[in-house]
Amino acid sequence: MDLEKKPQQSPQPLPYAEPADAAPALRASDADRDRVADILREALAEGRLDAEEHGERIDAVYRAKTVAELEPLVRDLPAPGGPAPAPGPQAAPYAYDASRSSEPTESLVAVLSSTTRKGRWRIGARTNAFALFGNIEIDLTEALFSQRLTTINATSVFGNVEITVPENITLRGNGNGILGNFEIRTLEAADPEAPVVVINGMAVLGNIEAKPKRGKLIADLHDRLRKHLGH
């Protein structure tokens, strides 16, 4: 029998274990995610991101668990309303302002019911629409736009979400249907100051549709946007 002692090996740390002296990652709040989404929204309106890039980053925003996961999503973007980052490796990454107040999000819900938003009303920067065996109608043809970019997050489960917009705005969409229909009739406004409406959605055995309404225009587009944007 071999009684020779073998040197004792130190246990290897688990691959996912953090060092004992590492500070725990700061968890992201809903307000943190909304603030980053605001930055991406303004970047899309300014043409710094295209619709596909915006959709990918927005998806990452709402999947992020920590603040550290959010920061890279806006690292190459300037502060809202500020100049572009200086070129070159020495440019400092943009850190979003955690104290920046977020605008309220309007929620429209239809569960075995119907919900309609239409007429002369002020549409906010973000609207959530959720239809479960119900119908939601959002009519923006007479709405007042207080910002360049308006995002509508639509979810339909055995339901229907219909969105109509004026003909002289930009309309874009990011989403898909699972045994359902997700249809956005995209528009590109000739006026560079026209509002941009982005529909992000998921239709599960349901329908999400957005389209322009013929003959409906925002007549006072320039005056309204300059007034609200301070131009």
Segments making up each domain of the chain, as ranges: 30-73, 106-229
| 36-89 tens-digit pLDDT | 877 887 777 677 887 678 778 877 887 888 988 998 998 888 765 544 444 333
Is 80 exceeded by the pLDDT of residue 212? yes
* Mean pLDDT along residues 163-188: 91
Per the model's pLDDT, the better-predicted residue between 204 and 10 turns out to be 204
Residue identified by tokens 């920067």 is: 125
Between strands 126-132 and 170-178, the pairing is unpaired
| 89-105 tens-digit pLDDT | 333 333 333 333 345 78
Q: Are 135 and 159 in contact (CB under 8 A)?
A: yes
In angstroms, the Cα distances linking 72 to 24, 55, 76, 87 are: 18, 15, 8, 17
DSSP state of 9: P
